[in-house]
Amino acid sequence: MLSSWASFAGIALIFLMVASVGAAAPSGLQVGQPFPLLTLPALADGQPRSLADFRGGKVILHIWASW
Amino acid sequence: MVGILQEQHPGRARLFMQWKQMDWPLLVDPLNLLGVSVVPVTVLLDEYGIVRAINPKQDEFQQFMEEVYPEPKHMDAPRTGRSDLAALEQAALGHDPDALRNYADALFLWSDESHLDEAIEGYTQALQKDPEHGPTHYRLGVAFRRRYESPFRRANDFNQAAQHWGQALDIDPNQYIWRRRIQQYGPRLDKPYSFYDWVIQAREEIEARGETPVTLTVEPGGAELAYPAQTFDPAPTATRPEPDPGGRIIRDEQGLIQIEATVVPATLQPGGSGRVHVVLRPDQSQKAHWNNEVDDLVFWVDPPAGWEVDTHYLTVGRPPEAVSQEVRKVEFELKIPDELTGPVTIPAYVLYYVCEDVDGTCLYRRQDVSLRINVAGGRK
């Protein structure tokens, strides 16, 4: 379990290094509520994808930017 | 692991992921439809898509991994596929601002760049009904900036983008995603960090691995690579003499070179600084070309007393070809006086060598540029 956390924390650190802009929680997201069912283009092929496509397994979601 | 990207240029994230050897799925949200106000954010979702933690600590992460979550009594059916543009267009005909926004969002995300005009029109109409809707200002700014970078560019697109991003931030100054978009193109004093300096290192390290770096459709430059500054660093006076003090060089009356200037932020606070983006394009309709056989393009700005600029005299280098038609860019920063209010126009000019066609007459010309600076009323 610690290695999962370490892997997760390592990736999180990458994002903190490139795009740390604040500590406030994002608007519109609430613990205990469903994640919004947005359909967005996938980076890989531009095809429509939604977080609902990943239902059935636990998801670690990173919302980030490369800047 | 899944990602959602809050970025105008997804190709840059593709390069970043290649650099860091990240291969998990990424969804692109250039309009910030998700409505997040900051990045990065980490969200833990259970098997049913329920948010279980936001920016979790280690113990929350461990609990999430171990927990067996109950199936909710009700789950919204997932929507799949692209938006139904025809249905959204029909709904937008009623001029409801939400319907107009939805149509414009769908056009932006799922149509090619030739439809950006319609997306911009949709957002503009939505703002006429709902002028204080910050997300619409932001998205309209994103659409203008994308059109500016596309073959469908129109005059003033970047300026419009900067203005709408500014209006969005005025409505919600705590929206850091919007703030960062302005800072990306804004002055060094306002930058929290260099936005895309990592691109250089990424390419070097990718090439060192024997790979070819992902090609970027829009190369970062100027403000996007500039580093933050704590104090404004004014240009020393008289390091270079003014190139045409008497105004004797013949003006480019034909408009062989088209010049567009944008100041970011669109409105400066008294005593504040801004970054001026000047773009120079040979007029394709006149078959104008740069003449590269003589000397570099020179840009000169000498603002009124009390103003500061980080440079007075700028040059733009030439490619090796005798003539060319590339876009040339000049960027500089200025700082305005504390007591200034209202819009102010400052003079600048450009000197360049231009040809009327590939084998046409080549001329040395000057073009005067009026840089309009909008200043917020009152003291900061």
Domains detected in chain B: 85-185 (1.25.40.10), 231-375 (2.60.40.10)
Q: How far is A10 from chain B (nearest CA, A)?
A: 11
B268: pLDDT strictly greater than 80 = yes
Position B102 confidence tier, pLDDT thresholds 50, 70, 90: very high
pLDDT at A19: 43
Q: With an 8 Å Cβ cutoff, is A6 touching chain B?
A: no
pLDDT at A9 over 90: no
If one compares A19 and B124, the residue with the highest pLDDT of the two is B124
Mean pLDDT of chain B: 94
- pLDDT for residue B379: 42
Q: Which chain B residues touch A24 with a CB distance below 8 Å? A: 37-38, 174
Q: Is residue A30 part of a domain?
A: no
Q: Is the pLDDT of residue A18 over 80?
A: no
Contact between B176 and B37 under an 8 Å Cβ cutoff? The reply is: yes
Count structural domains, chain A.
1
Q: Is the pLDDT of residue B240 over 90?
A: no
The whole-number pLDDT of residue B378 equals: 46
Establish if A10 touches chain B: CB-CB under 8 angstroms: no
Residue A27 lies in a domain: no
Residue A20 has pLDDT above 60, yes or no: no
At B66, is the pLDDT very low, low, confident or very high (cuts 50, 70, 90)?
very high
Report the SS3 class of residue A11: helix
Q: Which pLDDT belongs to residue B377? A: 76
Burial B227-253 (b: 16+ CB within 10 A, else e): eeeeebeebeeeeeeeeeeeeeeeebe
Let me know if residue A10 belongs to a domain: yes
Look at residue A51 and tell me if it is in a domain. yes
* Record: contact A56-B192, CB cut-off 8 A: no
Do the domain assignments include residue A50? yes
Residue B235 has pLDDT above 70, yes or no: yes
**Higher-scoring residue by pLDDT: B339, B206:** B206
Whether pLDDT at B125 is above 90 = yes
What are the DSSP calls for B119-135, one per residue? Answer: HHHHHHHHHHH-TT-HH
The pLDDT of residue A27 is: 64
Question: Which chain A residues are within 8 Å of B206, Cβ to Cβ?
Answer: none
Domain span at A3: 1-18+40-67
Mind giving me the DSSP string for B236-300? Answer: PTTSS--S-TT--SPB-TT--EEEEEEEESSEEPTT-EEEEEEEEEE-GGGT-EEE-SS--EEEE
What is the average pLDDT score of chain A? 76
pLDDT at A10: 57
Q: What is the mean pLDDT of residues B63-84?
A: 86
What value does the mean pLDDT take over residues B229-242?
85
Q: Are B137 and B240 in contact (CB under 8 A)?
A: no
Q: What residue type is B253 in one-letter code?
A: E
Q: Which of A5, A33, A39 sits opposite B51 (nearest CB)?
A: A33
Confidence of residue B168 (pLDDT cuts 50, 70, 90): very high
B272-293 pLDDT tens trace:
999 999 999 999 999 999 999 9
In a domain, A59, yes or no: yes
